[in-house]
Homo-oligomer: A and B are copies of this chain.
């Protein structure tokens, strides 16, 4: 794991790193003393590790919840090389949506193409980040919606170190088998007027998760319009399941 830059703003330190060609970012509260739980954040399709929705949440999870937060570029995203097969599926998806076709099948195919590598990436990254002295080796949180859930559900199915997850904005197609293996507490975000995910398919994925504790948060608006108060709700959910809120400073 090689750190390539360190900056600090708003009481949060942001460190860029690479680990075996995987580019990532780690956020921790400034002056953090002692190990703290980790939250892994998976970005959406076409986005990257520093997408605004990722950075805004990461900074607040670190500053207000005292967490360490890590994001990485998904395969074929951000600073990573683009795979030819992925590019073909993505072009098909764009053309299909422009033609008004129902995107669920192609979205599922795109996620399926990336999931194996994405799971392997996260497993390496969690191992490496949990070796840092200010990150504890207890249960890890996972936050990811849209493609972050398309890749996150297979990750949760495979990775017992993840102890709680915020998911959403994707439907059941392609994820039924993995969803049936998810048993950790989940907060699931659904946008009532999602133009990309039919409401019934989102409800069906929520229903298919095998978790004994799961809460659906459905809000008005389209795919990209999760209300900002859900950031607080997610932070509180992680605090409830990973640790009590702890002040980011040692004072």
Give me the interface of A with B, judged by CB distance under 8 Å: 190, 192, 203, 206-207, 211-220, 227, 229, 232-233, 236, 240
Contact = CB atoms under 8 A, between A and B. Distances in A.
Contacts of A220: 211-214
20 contacts: A190-B216, A192-B207, A192-B216, A203-B203, A206-B218, A211-B220, A212-B220, A213-B227, A214-B220, A215-B217, A215-B218, A215-B219, A215-B227, A216-B218, A216-B219, A217-B217, A218-B218, A229-B240, A232-B236, A233-B233
Contacts of A206: 218
Contacts of A229: 240
A28 to B, nearest CB: 26
Contacts of A240: 229
Given A192-B207, A203-B203, A215-B219, 19 more contacts: A190-B216, A192-B216, A206-B218, A211-B220, A212-B220, A213-B220, A213-B227, A214-B219, A214-B220, A215-B217, A215-B218, A216-B216, A216-B217, A216-B219, A217-B217, A218-B218, A229-B240, A232-B236, A233-B233
A232 B245 CA distance: 14
Return the 3 tightest CB-CB contacts between A and B, nearest first.
A216-B218, A215-B219, A214-B220
A217 B227 CA distance: 14
A214 B192 CA distance: 10
A218 B218 CA distance: 8
A203 B220 CA distance: 13
A142 B240 CA distance: 26
Contacts of A233: 233
A212 to B, nearest CB: 7
A219 B188 CA distance: 10
A244 to B, nearest CB: 13
A233 B212 CA distance: 20
**Which of A203, A211, A213, A220 has the most CB atoms of chain B within a 10 A radius of its CB?**
A220
Nearest to A199: B203
Nearest to A190: B216
Contacts of A217: 215-217
